[in-house]
Amino acid sequence: MNGLTFDIAHLLAGSLVLVSFMMLYQDRLFALINVFALHAVVLALSVAWQAYIQDAHHLYITAAIALVFKAIVIPVGLHRIIQRLGIHRDIETAVGIGPTMLAGIGLVTLSMVLMLRVTPEADPLAREDLAFALSIILLGLLVMVTRRNAVSQVVGFMSLENGLVLAATGAKGMPLVVEISVAFSILIAFIVIGVFLFRIRERFDSVDVGALDDYRGERR
């Protein structure tokens, strides 16, 4: 593998981490969804580049699935759900943006140190891709933990899954049947979550998960 090939792979994986930080910074739902779509586009490019490097043609299917479903179908669906439900467009956070970004930097540092130390014998590209992937997973969890809006938590979950895809492709890919089953699982989960959001909005007139806590407290 020549240096340019290696550098492009790192650029794409690092760009995913950067876009994850962009998601942490967003305080508007539409902007968050648009950034997630960008996240999916960069993921598709990264997976396609891995397919080229590894000469693994089935990874092109993975890239196409990420591009079609995560960059187009799911963001468009979430935009329509928000408009249909009349959801409040501002994202309420449990923690301020500043502390959240600092926590994100700490998680990325932890990911890099941890993965590079526990995989000293692995292929250099694979171990650094795994470090980037763990960073994306932890940043996705941070989005879920620090956002009170159910839609933003869904986006955090899906960005976390993007990190899992990057890890699988960086570690020399995964079986095609697994990739297809994961894609359909995500699509089904998206449909179920859409129905769930409709029900929350109908019952509580809000998709803030704090409403569920308040309701549970009133019933005690």
Residue 144 has pLDDT above 70, yes or no: yes
- pLDDT confidence band for 208 (50 / 70 / 90): low
Q: What pLDDT sits at residue 101?
A: 92
Q: What average pLDDT is seen over the chain?
A: 79
Mean pLDDT of 165-180: 67
Q: What pLDDT sits at residue 191?
A: 63
- pLDDT confidence band for 138 (50 / 70 / 90): very high
In sequence order, which ranges of 55-175 are alpha helices (DSSP H)?
Answer: 58-65, 74-85, 97-118, 124-146, 150-170
pLDDT digits (tens, 9 = 90+) for 17-66: 999 999 998 888 889 999 999 999 999 999 999 888 888 888 888 888 88
Distance set, CA 61 to CA 34, 57, 69, 185 (Å): 23, 8, 12, 16
Q: What pLDDT sits at residue 220?
A: 54
Q: What pLDDT sits at residue 180?
A: 56
112, 124, 121, 129: which is closest to 3 by C-alpha? 124
Q: What pLDDT sits at residue 46?
A: 92
Q: What pLDDT sits at residue 195?
A: 59
Mean pLDDT of 120-138: 82
3-state secondary structure of 28: strand
- pLDDT confidence band for 202 (50 / 70 / 90): low
Which neighbouring-strand residues pair with 153? none
- pLDDT confidence band for 192 (50 / 70 / 90): low
Rg, Å, the chain Cα set: 18
CA-based angle 140:166:18, to the nearest 5?
50
Q: What pLDDT sits at residue 136?
A: 93
Q: What pLDDT sits at residue 26?
A: 86
pLDDT digits (tens, 9 = 90+) for 65-106: 889 888 998 888 888 877 877 766 677 777 888 899 999 999
105, 97, 94, 169: which is closest to 135 by C-alpha? 105
Q: What pLDDT sits at residue 160?
A: 86
